[in-house]
Amino acid sequence: MMEFPTVPYLMRVCTLLLLILLMKSGIAVYSNFDYLIGLGSYDITGPAADVNMMGYANTEQVASGVHLRLRSRAFIVAEPHSNRVVFVNLDACMASQLVTIKVLERLKARYGDLYTENNVAISGIHTHAGPGGYLQYVVYIITSLGFVRQSFDALVDGIEKSIVKAHENLRPGSIFVNKGELLDAGVNRSPSAYLNNPAAERSKYKYNVDKEMSLLKFVDAEWGPVGSFNWFATHGTSMSRTNSLISGDNKGAAARFMEDWFEQKGSVKTDSVGFEDDSIPRRISNIIPSLGENHHKLLEIASSFQSPPGCTATRTSSVARRVRGAVSQVDKPRFVSAFCQTNCGDVSPNVLGAFCTDTGLSCDFNHSTCGGKNELCYGRGPGYPDEFESTRIIGERQFRKAVGLFNGASEQIKGKVEFRHTYIDFSKLEVTLSKGGASEVVKTCPAAMGFSFAAGTTDGPGAFDFKQGDDKGNPFWNLVRDLLKTPNKEQIDCQWPKPILLDTGEMKLPYDWAPSILPIQILRVGQFVILSVPGEFTTMAGRRLRDAVMAVLRGNKDFGSNIHVVLAGLTNTYSQYVTTYEEYQVQRYEGASTLYGPHTLSAYIQEFKKLAKALISDQRVEPGPLPPDLLNQQISLLTPVVVDGTPLGVNFGDVSADVPKNTTFKKGDKVTVTFWSACPRNDLMTEGTFALVEFLRGKDTWVPAYDDDDFCLRFIWSRPFKLSLRRKPP
């Protein structure tokens, strides 16, 4: 006997079909998706020639081309008709207070009070291979010959556009979180300082650096996964202090690998060339067209092809021919993946250890010197002696871990979107310390840098006779220091045991040398909490801050028991390092670079606990004193591009040295072409490319294959001699 469906059963089926149709049609079904999410990305590469790079403070490290273009990547998470937060990850050494101020001004002009300093965080990945000159304080722009307007404008424009893209992409979606250990992408470069932390505290942790990566996966209601942001601690110093090519270093490489991995994974027709397996890109990162059965015929045609003389390139053509621009879908948001920085202060990607260049032996443990000289002690990356290979390996290790976390992310983010922000004058902040039931009030100090700052690190050694771990100073360098500013007794006592080399917080000519007013900020998306810190926290300093905030949040039932807290380092502005009190006593590089004295970390913990308590009690926070806007006081000594020229009978774009005729190449071979070029500072080719490699498809169709965004393509530019009007890449 046949049974017919009941009316309630039919209603349930119809309801299910209706929901499926609604989702396929793109109509929002808010009951299944808790947030509006939007992601955006934009080029911030900046000038690729003549400009000193930010990070190593090496005057000889001047940009001369592009290894990887730099990007600003942003996500926005909003509760419908309620709060929203913006997080921006920059392929830059650090955030800049002045850049942040100007971005916020533009956002206010465009959106009113929707995006302000309260709910916008701008964080740098800490690459040491990006153009400098974009910060507003003197000490950070000395080596770049002052302020560089091109660097600054590229950042402000790119950050704004990445946020605008994220805003325009806002759609219903969900967020998932996952975390896991990555063991081989960072080592402690100041282990003697770490060992000065209490043994009982160190015993709580398995490693002397944080090995955990935390990842957010963003899923659009219609399109599915649209991006991921992760936080992991390792320095952007795989590229050395002598590198002159613009690069996002290991984190920039990892981001490019993951974005290309996802685009290839979702592509209908892909090829496995360049992959170690079906899902992980290897040395190259691009969308490779299928070679097909006529591969050998194409090789024969290509081997006899002579490059024609160069033709005029326009920004429009450079954008249109870019590899990734050619494959993007107009109606679908591009996948955005960001590899963010956290408490990397004492974490190096040079995981093989530090060795003396003269003897090959390990450097001195306590001072990182070789025969008393810091200049000979260098960390070695996993691809040593090839810095590009080290960058690729550390980037790929982060990328592989991120892919695993991305694919396995199942814990859904749920809960409120909230934020708290305030400005604090760290030059004179009272801090209450609790000791054995009693309390003591101490103060932070005006900014100052110690002698060990000038010694540098194993990632980038300093010069002269400085060494890490110096808590005495030197009479000669004291005389040199006093020519600039002699610290008074109060400052000397406040900063003790740091011997002061530069009293930057009290140096005001021609304008401020160091910041005093700093922003601190908490962003909350459900059970995921981001602590925005304007500096580089060491491993243990970051752990203490996270634990302190976690203890406050755990007392609130709204958060539940499964709280995720990450530090976003180098965010909104930059104020160098933050060590623990115990690490400060050792005065290695990080301690000497902790600007506001031995109680700097305690000050951060005190003020972040206040923000956390205000967050859970729904209390407002006083905005605090505003930081200065020093744009109109900036001085620039970098000369502009006056004129470009070529030899008689040669035009811009002409090939100087072509690929040898009838030459074929196999995968892994290096191919070099030299052509006459104008200075890259004339046109930054934003969202474009300086160099493009094409594949021949058929007899006369050339398809873009590699550009400035690819790890395997390097655009190198130079003058025949320093003051020459003629320019050509070598």
More confident residue, 26 or 262: 262
Q: What is the pLDDT, as a whole number, of residue 337?
A: 98
- In angstroms, the CA 291 to CA 272 distance is 10
How many Cβ atoms from other residues are within 10 Å of residue 7's Cβ? Answer: 8
Q: What is the pLDDT at residue 696?
A: 85
Burial class (CB in 10 A: 0-12, 13-18, 19+), 300: exposed
Mean pLDDT of 281-297: 42
Q: How far is CA 24 from CA 12, 18, 169, 224, 227, in A?
A: 19, 10, 18, 12, 20
Q: With contact defined as beta carbons under 8 Å apart, do 240 and 254 qualify?
A: no
Q: How far is CA 97 from the centre of its chain?
A: 16
440 annotated among ligand-binding-site residues: no
> pLDDT band at residue 681, thresholds of 50, 70 and 90?
very high
Helix ranges restricted to H, 470-597: 475-484, 489-495, 539-553, 581-586, 589-592
Strand duo 715-716 + 336-340: pairing: unpaired
Tokens standing for residue 183:
């063991």
Record the tokens describing residue 684, joined without a space: 């930054």
Q: Could you give the 3-state DSSP secondary structure of residue 602?
A: helix
pLDDT bin (cut points 50, 70, 90) of residue 700 is confident
- 272 is annotated as an active-site residue: no
Query: Is 511 marked within a binding site?
Result: no
Name the β-bridge partners of 532.
521, 568
Task: Yes or no: say if 416 and 526 are a contact pair by the CB < 8 Å rule.
Answer: yes
Write the CB contacts of 488 (distance below 8 Å, at least 6 apart in sequence): none
Q: Using the structure block, give the residue that is written with the tokens 């070695």.
A: 380
pLDDT at 315: 55
Distance CA 726, CA 679 (A): 9
pLDDT at 316: 56
Q: Which of 191-205, 357-371, 685-699 has the lowest mean pLDDT?
A: 685-699
Per-residue tokens: 109: 């002009």
Tokens representing 580 are 């623990």
Distance between CA 78 and CA 417 in Å, rounded? 7
pLDDT value of position 493: 98
pLDDT at 660: 85
DSSP state of 653: T
Task: Give residue 536's pLDDT band: very low, low, confident or very high (50, 70, 90).
Answer: very high
The yes-or-no verdict on residue 30 having pLDDT over 80 is: no
Instruction: Assign 129 a pLDDT band (cuts: 50, 70, 90).
Output: very high
Per-residue pLDDT at 32 exceeds 80: no
**Stretch 635-646: mean pLDDT:** 90
Residue 1 has pLDDT above 60, yes or no: no
* For the chain, percent of residues with pLDDT exceeding 70: 86
Question: Contact at 8 Å (CB) between 123 and 532?
Answer: yes
646-662 exposure pattern, b = at least 16 Cβ within 10 A, e = fewer: beeeeebbbbeeebeee
Of 248-257, 615-624, 689-698, the one with minimum mean pLDDT is 689-698
Identify whether the C-beta of residue 640 lies closer than 8 Å to the C-beta of residue 682: no
Q: What would the mean pLDDT of 137-159 be, rounded to a whole number?
A: 97
Q: What share of the chain is helix, strand, coil (3-state, %, to 5)?
A: 25, 25, 50
298-326 tens-digit pLDDT: 445 444 444 444 444 455 556 656 788 65
Catalytic residue (choose from 123, 348, 575, 602)? 348
How far is residue 640's CA from residue 40's CA, in Å, rounded to a whole number? 32
Q: If we measure between CA atoms, which residue out of 77, 102, 344, 396 comes closest to residue 210? A: 344
Work out the angle at residue 561's Cα, subtended by the Cα atoms of residues 405 and 606, and round it to the nearest 5 degrees: 95
Q: Is the pTM of this model over 0.85?
A: yes
Q: C-alpha distances in angstroms, 689 versus 523, 678, 706? A: 35, 14, 10
- Beta strand 655-657 with 564-568: parallel, antiparallel or unpaired? unpaired
- Could you tell me the end-to-end alpha-carbon distance of the chain, in angstroms, rounded to an integer? 86
**Chain centroid to CA 653:** 33
> What was the pLDDT predicted at 661?
84
pLDDT at 564 over 60: yes
Helices (H), 678-720: none
Alpha carbon distance 454, 146 (integer Å): 20
Contact of 401 with 213, CB cutoff 8 Å: yes
Query: Of 327-336, 341-350, 434-443, 636-645, which gets the smallest average pLDDT?
Result: 327-336
Structure tokens that stand for 137 in this block? 């304080």
**Mean pLDDT, range 685-698, rounded to an integer:** 90
Structure-block tokens of residue 596: 């506001």
Q: Tell whether residue 577 is among the known ligand binding residues.
A: yes
Both structure tokens of 332 = 């679908």
Q: Are strands 449-450 and 500-502 parallel, antiparallel or unpaired?
A: antiparallel
381 contact partners, CB below 8 Å, separation of at least 6 = 238, 349, 350, 351, 352, 387, 389, 390, 391, 393, 394
Please state, in angstroms and rounded to a whole number, the distance separating the CA atoms of residues 583 and 569.
19
**Of the candidate ranges 4-13, 102-111, 166-175, 209-218, the one whose mean pLDDT is the lowest:** 4-13
Alpha-helical runs (H) found in 321-433: 323-327, 387-408
**Which residue do the tokens 């402000």 mark?**
156
Please report the pLDDT score of residue 465 as a whole number. 87
Average pLDDT over residues 419-443: 95
**8 Å CB contact between 580 and 538:** yes
Cα(73)–Cα(90) distance, integer angstroms: 6
Is 6 a residue whose pLDDT tops 50? no
Lowest mean pLDDT across 3-17, 150-164, 516-530: 3-17
Which pLDDT score, from 0 to 100, does residue 327 have? 52
Asked if residue 694 lies in contact with residue 705, where contact means CB atoms within 8 angstroms, the answer is: yes
How high is the pLDDT of residue 305?
44
CA 671, chain centre distance (Å) = 30
CB 55 within 8 A of CB 253: no
Q: At residue 14, does pLDDT exceed 50? A: no
**Calpha distance 203→726 (Å, rounded):** 61
Q: What whole-number distance in Å separates Cα of residue 151 and Cα of residue 166?
A: 23
The model's pLDDT over 42-74, given as tens digits with 9 standing for 90+, comes to 999 999 999 999 999 999 999 999 999 999 999
**Rounded Cα gap, residues 220 and 232, in angstroms:** 24
What was the pLDDT predicted at 33? Answer: 65
Mean pLDDT (the chain, rounded)? 88
Mean per-residue pLDDT, 178-203:
98
Query: Partners of 124 in the beta sheet?
Result: 90
Closest by CA to 56, choosing from 154, 127, 125, is 127
CB-based contact 167:106 (threshold 8 Å): no
- As a dihedral over the C-alpha atoms of residue 166, residue 171, residue 175, residue 181, rounded to 10 degrees, the angle is -30
Whether residue 471 has pLDDT greater than 90? yes
What are the backbone dihedrals phi and psi of residue 327, each rounded to the nearest 5 degrees, phi first? -110, 0
Query: Rounded CA gap, 8 and 11, in Å?
Result: 5
Is the pLDDT higher at 190 or at 280?
A: 190
Residue indicated by tokens 């302020």: 147
- Residue 235 assigned to a binding site: yes
CA distance 595 to 598: 9
Report percent pLDDT > 90 for the chain.
Answer: 75
